[in-house]
A and B are shown apart, each in its own frame.
Chain A
Amino acid sequence: DAGITQSPRYKITETGRQVTLMCHQTWSHSYMFWYRQDLGHGLRLIYYSAAADITDKGEVPDGYVVSRSKTENFPLTLESATRSQTSVYFCASSVVLGRKNSPLHFGNGTRLTVT
């Protein structure tokens, strides 16, 4: 089915480990985003990408790395996980470059717990 798919849905990892969250979209959307959702903070932007090989930092990028070698994939890596990175992570994409009214389309989220 067309859409945006995140994997895994749930992940438990230990402090200090590297973990990668996957995001794949089938729409060929130009823009892709990673947000984290924490109680009381809504959704905060971690990184975004305007196209393959173009990425930029959002509001809370520290401790995260992204890449986008192909338009359809936008993985998020926690290089050395910390407990403060326990959160729900959402990947999203946007259909039209620069159009004000284009909504973000979200994946179903990855619930990450760092012990």
Chain B
Amino acid sequence: AQKITQTQPGMFVQEKEAVTLDCTYDTSDQSYGLFWYKQPSSGEMIFLIYQGSYDEQNATEGRYSLNFQKARKSANLVISASQLGDSAMYFCAMRDKEDAGNMLTFGGGTRLMVKP
């Protein structure tokens, strides 16, 4: 089974509206971390937000928030008040095994397009 699944290959959102990008994950570990990255057309990978499996509150970073539903194994990214500069690929990623190399496993990504 895929460890990280992003079911929306592409999405449109109207400027100034909120948008939710879906991410589901699969792990048997109790302790894990979830990350979201943004990749604009220029290609760099930009870290946006982190959620720990034991964090009691949903993570927020400015206009980004993470809707973490542990029982459903979902970690959806919510972008409020979309801006044209939010048009990019967005990747969900997970780190689960503490001693297994510190790497992240990535989903296939969602391309977000913000309409003016």
Chain B residues with CB under 8 Å of A98's CB are 98-99, 102
Whether A79 sits at the interface, judged by CB under 8 Å, is no
What's the dominant secondary structure at chain B's contact region? Answer: loop
1/0 per position for A55-90, CB-CB distance to B under 8 A?
010100000000000000000000000000000101
A50 to B106, CA, bound (A): 19
What's the dominant secondary structure at chain A's contact region? Answer: strand
- Name the contact of B98 in the complex, choosing from A43, A44, A92, A100 (C-beta under 8 A): A100
**Which segment, of B10-18, B43-51, B69-77, faces chain A?**
B43-51
Asked if residues B108 and A41 are in contact (CB atoms below 8 Å), the reply is yes
Interface residues on B, range: 20 to 34
Asked if residues A108 and B44 are in contact (CB atoms below 8 Å), the reply is yes
Given known A42-B91, A43-B91, A101-B50, contact A106–B101 (CB-CB < 8 A):
no
Asked if residues A31 and B101 are in contact (CB atoms below 8 Å), the reply is yes
Chain B residues with CB under 8 Å of A101's CB are 33, 50, 52
Chain A residues with CB under 8 Å of B52's CB are 100-101
1/0 per position for B24-43, CB-CB distance to A under 8 A?
00000001110100000001
Chain A residues with a Cβ under 8 A of chain B? 31, 33, 35, 40-45, 48, 50, 56, 58, 88, 90, 92, 94, 97-98, 100-106, 108-109
8 A–B pairs (Cβ distance < 8 Å), ordered by A:
A35-B106, A42-B107, A45-B103, A103-B47, A104-B47, A104-B103, A106-B44, A108-B44
